[in-house]
Amino acid sequence: MIFLDMDKKHIITIAGKLGSGKSSTAKNISEILNYKHYSTGDFMRSIANERGITLSELSKIAEADNSIDKALDDRNLEIGKMEDIVLDSRLGFYFIPDSFKVFLELDTNTASERILKDMKSNPNRQKEDTGMFDTKESIIASIDNRLLSERKRYKQLYSIEDLTSHNNFDLVIDTSNTPLHEVSKKIIDEYNNWLNN
């Protein structure tokens, strides 16, 4: 049984490495808790689709065009005013500091295998996210380039030295060998402890 202390804000923010299962985990938890799910990645994907470019290309443009990050940031701030929310967002921990902050860890090799598998089963995702990469090596290069781009932007815009630092989070889980249902259960258990302490 899930018991929630109504004196605290009910928001879980989930960040993590590419391929770590942020969206799947956030959706699963939102269903279990009957919370609303939001995804900054989905919002960014929709911006890229509107412009007819990949996420990697949009990230590069965002290095010189602050309006993209501003739109994402404003959306996170609006979500932070709500209750009963699960948000998967790289900067959710920063914009909603009173949320329960989770980071999903994953090594780059495992991430590239998962992304490649996902891209093969979902051709639209290949075009949206990485721009026709079909090998582990090209996906690893894309992951590294995207992380470098984000680190550069977030340091310049928010003085965040390392968005993947575990010090930013209440809970860190390595998803390399942990099934989705176990990750979700661990997050909900720790979230309930956090709410009631």
Full 3-state SS string of the chain: CCCCCCCCCCEEEEEECCCCCHHHHHHHHHHHHCCEEEEHHHHHHHHHHHHCCCHHHHHHHHCCCHHHHHHHHHHHHHHCCCCCEEEECCCHHHHCCCCEEEEEECCHHHHHHHHHHHHHHCHHHHHHHCCCCCCHHHHHHHHHHHHHHHHHHHHHHHCCCCCCCHHHCCEEEECCCCCHHHHHHHHHHHHHHHHCC
Q: Which of 148, 39, 21, 132 is nearest to 91 (CA)?
A: 39
4 falls within a domain: no
Count of structural domains within the chain = 1
| Average pLDDT, rounded, for the chain | 85
34 falls within a domain: yes
Q: What local confidence, expressed as pLDDT, does residue 16 receive?
A: 93
Over 70: is that where the pLDDT of 114 sits?
A: yes
Q: What local confidence, expressed as pLDDT, does residue 25 receive?
A: 97
1 falls within a domain: no
CA–CA separation, 97 vs 59, rounded Å?
24
Which carries the bigger pLDDT value, residue 43 or residue 3? 43
38 falls within a domain: yes
Which carries the bigger pLDDT value, residue 53 or residue 118? 53
Over 50: is that where the pLDDT of 130 sits?
A: no
Which carries the bigger pLDDT value, residue 178 or residue 111? 178
Which carries the bigger pLDDT value, residue 30 or residue 133? 30
Tell me the CATH number at 97.
Answer: 3.40.50.300
Lookup: tokens for 151:
């680190």
74 falls within a domain: yes
Domain that holds residue 136: 11-192
165 falls within a domain: yes
What is the CB neighbour count within 10 angstroms for residue 189? 12
CA–CA separation, 82 vs 96, rounded Å?
11
Over 80: is that where the pLDDT of 155 sits?
A: yes
pLDDT band (50, 70, 90) for residue 33: very high
44 falls within a domain: yes
pLDDT band (50, 70, 90) for residue 79: very high
Residues 25-52, mean pLDDT to the nearest whole number: 93
Q: What local confidence, expressed as pLDDT, does residue 126 receive?
A: 47
Residues 102-111, mean pLDDT to the nearest whole number: 89
Which carries the bigger pLDDT value, residue 3 or residue 71? 71
156-190: pLDDT as tens digits? 888 998 888 999 999 999 999 999 999 999 999 99
